[in-house]
Homo-oligomer: A and B are copies of this chain.
Amino acid sequence: MRPTTVDVLQRIEKALERAVATGIGDGCPPLLQRAVRHAVFTPGSRARPRLLLAVALACGDDAPLLADAAAASLELLHCASLVHDDLPCFDDADTRRGQPTVHRAYGERLAVLAGDGLIVLAFENLAWNAAQHPERLAPLTGVIGRAVGIGHGIVAGQAWECESEVDLTAYHREKTAALFIAATAGGAAAAGQQPGPWERLGERLGLAYQVADDLRDVASSAEELGKPVGQDVAHDRPSAVAQLGIDGAQARLAELVTEAVDGIPACPGRDRLAALVRAEIERLLPAGLAQRGR
């Protein structure tokens, strides 16, 4: 029987709970525990781990424990980046996913520590779950590390905001696409496949996600989005809407989705994955725009 979306979401939540519970163990200070749980279990789209598992399933899902761990680790890293992005020295955001940000709820020190701890936990979690397939741990760690690292990952992407001259292509690729590349390449690596051919799907999807995010930032309500809108303009951040206008950004989005689907490597679950990718991007469009576009 083919797994449904509900099954996939359950796998992700269970894997996240296992990772966080194991990390906390019997020694984690109480407030740090609460800050970490607040960062991870405030309801989010889980777009990246869902994509990772979709690719692992398309590749045969022969190591579900490792794939689940990789999905959870990717989400932990995403959560870590959100916690640190929200800090006063960056976006100084009050809400995230409809809840107070971690530093508003627990203070800045615990927000820094929760983010740090989530990064560590992500890598520990991969190692804890690689016992059956030790030869897959190094490539998987490599793929996921690259997505967040200083060379081409989200840390690099965020750091472009501190430069006077910004490499816009690198900025978008790293700030958002990097985690999607890790989702597709990581899903393949967890299932014992070469990650390289899967990078293009993730990159195009990640760029599409960023364009959709930029559209939401101008065309959604704060209620719909679960965080403040108009942040790109407020922080003078590069945005596809500022560059191309709303219509141009929508056309760019459609183009990226086509390129993403065309980029899916041959695999047993190719058609199903293509349908899922299209549905996912549809879901990302702000309600106002989706209606307006038809």
Contact = CB atoms under 8 A, between A and B. Distances in A.
B156 A27 contact: yes
Contact of A152 (B25, B115, B130, B167): B25
Contacts of A117: 149-150, 155-156, 159
> What is the interface of chain A mostly: helix, strand, loop, or mixed?
helix
Interface residues of A, number: 64
Interface string A146-183: 10111111011011111100010010001000000000
Interface stretch (A120-128, A211-219, A252-260, A275-283): A120-128
How many copies of this chain does the complex contain? 2
A32 B26 CA distance: 36
B119 A119 contact: yes
Contacts of A115: 116
A159 B106 CA distance: 11
Contacts of A131: 138
A274 interface: no
Interface of A: 22-33, 36, 80, 84, 87, 89-90, 107-110, 112-117, 119-121, 123-124, 126-128, 130-131, 134-135, 137-139, 141-142, 145-146, 148-153, 155-156, 158-163, 167, 170, 174
Given A28-B150, A116-B119, A116-B155, 4 more contacts: A29-B167, A107-B162, A110-B162, A120-B148
